[in-house]
Amino acid sequence: MKEVVRQLYFFLKEFENQEVAIKQAQYMRNQFPFFGLMRNERNLYFKKFKSEVQSVKSIDAVIFCKECIQYDEREMWYIGLDFLIKNKIVLLPTDIDFIFHLIIESKWWDVVDLAASNLLGYLGEMDTNCLEKIKQGKNHNDLWIRRSSIIFQLKYRLKTDWNYLSEISLEMSSEKTFFIDKAIGWAFREYAKVKPDIVKAFIENHKSILNPLSIREGLKHLKS
């Protein structure tokens, strides 16, 4: 798989666009290098790579993603992550350590949010031990794991553990950190799509604890 991903890297590099890459890097605060490939382009090129150069089997999604994130260019991360999300059914409970590693090493919301809501969310539904580890992530020393412990339920809708979400929101509001406050508000907003009255009442009753950003985000699409 290492050789396959190396071929992918040089295949994509042939299509790099420095003008776009500079803008992409600036958007990410110049933390990561880019090839300059927009989402539709990289999907098209990856599809072309699989058909013309080297196929990638669904069953190898985890190891493929592991190899992709060894490269600095962010498109390699996106392709590896997208492929793993598409084939998340291959994940095992033991893969949660890799997903935590992926989140920590990604160091930014673009990868973190996709991994948390899709991969951790899936593992949390599949395995009770994984669910407990995800929830305990609220105490982790890494900001992005803590953020993930808030947003992993984004796609759960009615299956959302509201008791957990409400408790963690009050507990973590004391951090007064942008990415934590934003995550709390986002989680509220998603749950409000199925339980608007519960979210609205909770926010109203805890305005003195919740931070303004969480409140604004949580109430964004609720009628007053």
From 48, 73, 90, the end of a domain falls on 90
**Section 94-107 average pLDDT:** 98
Q: What are the E-state strand segments in 56-149? A: none
**Section 87-108 average pLDDT:** 98
Q: Domain of 23? A: 1-90
> Is residue 121 helix, strand or coil?
helix
The predicted structure's pLDDT at residue 104: 98
Mean pLDDT estimate for the chain: 97
pLDDT score of 134 more than 70? yes
Q: Are 33 and 21 in contact (CB under 8 A)?
A: yes
Please check whether residues 66 and 18 belong to one and the same domain.
yes
CATH code: domain of residue 71: 1.25.10.90
Please check whether residues 120 and 190 belong to one and the same domain.
no
Confidence tier at 222 by pLDDT (50, 70, 90): confident
Burial class (CB in 10 A: 0-12, 13-18, 19+), 163: exposed
∠ Cα 90 92 96 (to 5°): 120
The predicted structure's pLDDT at residue 66: 98
CA distance 128 to 185: 26
Share of the chain above pLDDT 70, in %: 99
Please check whether residues 83 and 2 belong to one and the same domain.
yes
pLDDT score of 224 more than 60? no
Please check whether residues 102 and 81 belong to one and the same domain.
no
Please check whether residues 84 and 13 belong to one and the same domain.
yes
Q: Are 217 and 188 in contact (CB under 8 A)?
A: yes
**Section 124-151 average pLDDT:** 98
For the stretch 3-52, pLDDT in tens is 999 999 999 999 999 999 999 999 999 999 999 999 999 999 999 999 99
**Section 91-104 average pLDDT:** 98
pLDDT score of 213 more than 80? yes
From 49, 66, 90, the end of a domain falls on 90
CA distance 86 to 136: 26
* Tally of domains in the chain: 3
CATH code: domain of residue 222: 1.25.40.290
pLDDT higher at 162 or 223: 162
**Section 95-106 average pLDDT:** 98
CA distance 13 to 15: 5
pLDDT score of 137 more than 70? yes
pTM over 0.85: yes
Please check whether residues 137 and 200 belong to one and the same domain.
no
Confidence tier at 218 by pLDDT (50, 70, 90): very high
Confidence tier at 223 by pLDDT (50, 70, 90): low
Which residue's entry shows tokens 């793993």? 84
From 152, 178, 195, the end of a domain falls on 152
The predicted structure's pLDDT at residue 221: 82
Q: How many CB atoms lie within 10 A of CB 38?
A: 12
